[in-house]
Amino acid sequence: LRDEMTSRGGSRVNCPCKYNFSEDGKKLTPRRDVPSYPKYTLSQETIEALKKPTFDVWHWEHNEMLSCLEYMYHDLGLVKEFNMNPITLKRWLLGIQENYRSNPFHNFRHCFCVSQMMYGMIHLCNLQEKLTLTDMGILMTAAVCHDLDHPGYNNTYQINARTELAVRYNDISPLENHHCAVAFQILSLPECNIFANVDPEAFKQIRQAVITLILATDMARHGEILDSFKQKVDNFDFTNEEHVTCLKMVLIKCCDISNEVRPTEVAEPWVDCLLEEYFMQSDREKSEGLPVAPFMDRDKVTKPTAQIGFIKFVLIPMFETVMKLFPQIEEIMVQPLRDSRDHYEELKQIDDAMTEKKKTENIAVVTL
C-alpha cells in the first residue's frame, strides 16, 4: 500500500509527505489478497492485561500488535455495530501499520500504545455505559490513526522550514491535518474501508468526529481544550453533545501523552525514543539555521529536566481534571504520574549533586 501510494505521489519537497493531493483523483489499485499477518489466538492472560495501563507494550511484534488491535474492535462490539467485514478490518489495520514511519518515537508502536490506553480507559471509566458505540468507534479509530505518516519533525519545524505540509495547511496544525488526510486516504480504498456498510450520513458524522479528535492532539491547543473541559466537568452532562465531544478530545489527548502512566520500566525507554527524535530535529534546525527549542537541544536537556515540567504542569493537571469525572482513575493512572514525578525529581537531585561535585573538583584543580 505504501509503495503504491508513494509511486503515485509525484515529487516531494523538503520534509516529505506520502501523498500528493493535487493529483487529479487517480484511483489506487487496492490489494485484493487476504492480509498475511498470522492469526494469533490471544491468551486469557493477554486479554485481561490488554485492559490495563500496566500492559507491557515493548513485549510484542508488529503482527501481535495488529492482532491485539483487531481483538479490541471485536471485543468492543464495533465490528458488529458498523457491520464491518472482518477481512476488511485486517486489511485496514495492515494499511495503517504500513503508513507509520520508522521514527524513534512517532511510529506504529506509539500508535498501538495510544490505542491500547484508549481501550483501557474505555473499560476503566465504564464508557460503554455512558457513550454510544459510535463514540467508541470514533475514539478507537482516531487513536489508531492519530499520527499516521508522521515525518519525525514537529509542527514548529514544518512551519519554520516552510515545508510542503506547512504550505499546504497554511501553518495551521500541518501534521495533524496530514494525519487526518492520510487516514481518510486509506479509508477511501474499498478494500480498506471499515465503514463501507455505514450509511453516508452516519459516515459523514464519523468522519467529522475523527477529524476533530485527531486535530485536538496538537499540543499547541492544549490550554484551550483543557480550559474548555474544566468549565464543563463540574456539571458534566452525558446527554449534551458539546460536553461529550469535549470529553472525547480530552480522552485522546490523555492517551496520546500517557506513557508516564505506565510502569517505569515500560515508560522510561519512551523518553529515550522521544529525546532521540528531538535531537534529530534540533541538529537539523542548527544545520539549517532555524530556531531551536531548548527542550529539544542535546546540549541543554537531560531526561529528568525533560520530564519533570511536563509531568507537573501538563500531565498531572489534565489527568486530575478527568479524575473529577472518573474518580476510579486516581489509583491506576494519577498515582503513577505522581510517583513518576517524584522519581525524576530524585534523579535530578542526583544529577545536580554530581554537577556540583564536578564544579568543586574543577575549582580545586584550578586552585592547585
* Annotated binding-site members for AMP: 106-110, 147, 256, 307
| Catalytic, out of 59, 62, 74, 106 | 106
Q: Cα–Cα distance between 364 and 185 in angstroms, integer?
A: 64
Q: Cα–Cα distance between 91 and 63 in angstroms, integer?
A: 12
Active site residue 59: no
Q: What is the DSSP string of 19-40?
A: --TTS--PPP----SPP-S---
Cell numbers linked to 157: 519545524
Question: In 195-297, where does DSSP find H-type helix?
Answer: 200-215, 222-233, 241-256, 264-287
Amino acid residing at 309: G
Amino acid residing at 138: I
- H helix or E strand, kind and range, residue 178: helix 174-187
Q: Are 249 and 213 in contact (CB under 8 A)?
A: yes
**Closest C-alpha to 249, from 280, 270, 228, 274:** 228
Give the residue ranges of the annotated binding site for Zn(2+): 110, 146-147, 256
Q: Are 335 and 327 in contact (CB under 8 A)?
A: no
Give the residue ranges of the annotated binding site: 106-110, 146-147, 256, 307
The residues carrying an active-site annotation are: 106
